[in-house]
Amino acid sequence: MSLDLSTRVESALEAQTLAISNTAKKMKAAGIDVVSLSVGEPDFDTPLCAKEAALRAIHENFTHYTDSNGIADLRETIAKKFREENGIKDATASNVIVSAGAKQCIYNTLMALCNEGDEVIILAPYWVSYPAMAVMCGARPVILSGEYEHAYKVKPEDLRKAITPRTKCVILNSPSNPTGMMYTEDEIRAFGAVIAEYDCYLLSDEIYEKLTYGDIKHFSPGAISELSSKVITVNGVSKAYAMTGWRIGYLHAPDHVFREVSKVQGQSTSHPSSIAQKAALAALQFGSEDVIAMHAAFSARKSLVCSLLAEIPGLKFHIPDGAFYVFISFDEIQDDVDFCAYLLEEFHVALVPGDAFGCQGALRISFAASEDTLRKGIDRLARGLKAYGRKK
């Protein structure tokens, strides 16, 4: 008898971000005063309208199976959002699927698109889960790295060079986790022009859409009509509405992709929780003021973090255009995994090494934390950096 396990799953990496926050949690539980700036979730409360809608759903016994693609009124609301806010003119509820987080939307899509040996182009620094998901779906992640000097932006000509007959899909994430960088409309249109030339899909992960700070306006490639048969747009309520635990994400896909993604979901999880769907519906319909308030706080924190970091010698960073992260780069430190382990052990501050995002000599700091926590964490980072330099 062979007790082999799936080589696809075995060869996929575990999320380093989760590993670090778990260690930090354990240290906290042991009574150590750990400052965690590693998490990718808003520290705000879920909007009241969403919580009340969930309670109503429970009391009204809205607790049974729903349509596996999601409840009709939520899908209608999402389709309207895609039309009005994202310029996806033809978006209808019949092309929308609601899943257990944007994460499941991405996984379902890659599962529906990829055959063994296909390639998925991922722009680095990337969100930790993309390569592992591609591997688990039988595909080979092809990493295309942006450089610090160009704010980590990948150029369309580099994308063209990376495309092969095996390329099934390109994943775009703007605003980006971990860099906070955003591509402009022109840059996205230039990517779109490349994609239009080849038989491949574009998966646009727009989960940080509502959290933008600078002059760049969020642009959805799904709005480019020539790409309507190729773009899958993913979004969700986790980040914008502080609803990470509710697990609601959603996507829009062209008919032929929609059918397959729907099959993946129908045969695996069915649908996300009926109660969470009602909560997400309320958030999308009535939560815009909460989004504005949280955005204002994030914006103030971004300015604070950038001004504190600017005073620390030995590191450099770009001011993020969006999301809630600053991606710090070091000239002197290459082994960021060792440095982050040192910071956690000796200075009790949890940060995520650039290695987790496919970029060495860097680390990610999340500003989804209170101003006091941010000040404390950045002070520890500064002291740790100095001490690490002496140690080497």
Taking the least distance from each CB to ligand PLP, the nearer of 47 and 249 is 249
Our CB check for ligand PLP shows the closer of 112 and 122 to be 122
The edge-to-edge listing of strands for the beta sheet with 96-99 is 96-99, 249-252, 231-236, 201-205, 167-173, 119-124, 140-145
> Within a 10 A sphere around the Cβ of 63, how many other Cβ atoms?
11
Q: How many residues bind ligand PLP (CB under 6 A)?
A: 13
Rule CB under 6 A: choose which of 86, 212, 244, 277 binds ligand PLP: 244
Which of 88, 368 has the CB closer to ligand PLP? 368
User: Using CB under 6 A, which residues numbered 194 to 233 contact ligand PLP?
Assistant: 205, 207
The answer to whether residue 272 forms part of the interface with ligand PLP (CB under 6 A) is: no
Contact segment (CB under 6 A) with ligand PLP among 236-244, 264-272, 284-292, 373-381 equals 236-244
Query: β-strand 352-353 against 119-124: which pairing, if any?
Result: unpaired
Question: Which amino acid, residue 276?
Answer: A
Is 173 a binder of ligand PLP (CB under 6 A)? yes
Only one of the segments 99-107, 158-166, 187-195, 326-334 lies at the binding site for ligand PLP (rule: CB under 6 A); that segment is 99-107
User: What is the Cα–Cα distance from 347 to 351, expressed in whole angstroms?
Assistant: 11
Name which position in 221, 236, 287, 358 contacts ligand PLP (CB under 6 A). 236
User: Cα 277–281–285 angle (5° rounding)?
Assistant: 170
Query: Which residue, judged by CB position, is nearest to ligand PLP in the bound state?
Result: 101
Which class for 94: exposed (0-12), middle (13-18), buried (19 or more C-beta within 10 A)? Answer: exposed
Name which position in 102, 123, 139, 283 contacts ligand PLP (CB under 6 A): 102
Choices 46-54, 61-69, 95-103, 302-310; region in contact with ligand PLP by CB under 6 A:
95-103
HSE at residue 180, side-chain half, CA atoms within 13 A, is 27
Quick one: residue 31, left, alpha or beta (phi over 0 = left, psi -120 to 50 = alpha)? left
Cβ proximity of 109 and 232 under 8 Å? yes
Query: Is residue 36 close enough to count as binding ligand PLP by CB under 6 A?
Result: no
Is residue 125 within 8 Å of 327, Cβ to Cβ? yes
Segment interacting with ligand PLP (CB under 6 A) among 82-90, 97-105, 110-118, 378-386: 97-105
Q: Is 249 in the site for ligand PLP (CB under 6 A)?
A: yes
CB closer to ligand PLP out of 171 and 282: 171
Q: Rounded to an integer, what distance in angstroms lies between the CA atom of residue 53 and that of residue 277? A: 9
Residue 238 found at the interface with ligand PLP (CB under 6 A): yes
d(CA 97, CA 245): 19
With respect to ligand PLP, which residue has the nearer C-beta, 111 or 207? 207
Residue 378 engages ligand PLP in binding (rule: CB under 6 A): no
Phi, psi dihedral angles at 352 (to 5 degrees): -105, 125
In the complex with ligand PLP, the residue whose CB is nearer, 133 or 224, is 133
Quick check: 322 binds ligand PLP (CB under 6 A)? no
Distance of CA 3 to the CA centre of its chain: 35
Of the candidates 36, 95, 174, 177, which one interacts with ligand PLP according to CB under 6 A? Answer: 177
Q: How far is the CB of 391 from ligand PLP (least distance, A)?
A: 32
Applying CB under 6 A, does 40 fall inside the site for ligand PLP? yes
Positions 117 through 136 that interact with ligand PLP (CB under 6 A):
127
Give the span between the Cα atoms of 201 and 196, in whole angstroms: 9
Contact present, 126 and 358 (Cβ < 8 Å): yes
Q: Residue numbers of the site for ligand PLP (CB under 6 A)?
A: 40, 101-103, 127, 173, 177, 205, 207, 236, 238, 244, 249
